[in-house]
Amino acid sequence: MFFSPEYLTSRLYGVGTVWLAATVGTHNIHHKISRKDIMAVQIPAACQSFIEPDVPLALRFQSNLLCGVVRRSHTAAQARVNVDNINLTHGNLRSRALFLKTIQHLIPTWQLTFQCFTQGV
């Protein structure tokens, strides 16, 4: 084995999360990686620890870790896009609601009453 289990279990730079993202993937139901864990990964520091590790790492293991970094970056980018879309939609809805509130007095309110006439037989 060309890596130590302590390297994966340490919370330093989120290496364990990166490894899970690389090996388990993002669509596995049994091992769902939380957004909090994904966003806690420090990409520059994690990549530096892959390039200059304290313990020797196998090349395949390093490539798996780099694949996990790419998946983490993709997931974080999607989360940012989703948040931006939500903020944009919220802003549009808020401006439309304010517009409707300002023109509310211009909308006529008619009180219509209908009288039903019944004819006797």
Q: What is the pLDDT of residue 40?
A: 83
Q: What is the pLDDT of residues 78-91, one digit of tens each?
A: 777 788 888 888 88
Percent of the chain with pLDDT over 90: 0
pLDDT at 30 over 70: no
pLDDT at 121 over 60: no
pLDDT at 41 over 80: yes
CB atoms within 10 A of CB 62: 15
Burial (CB < 10 A; 0-12, 13-18, 19+), residue 41, is buried
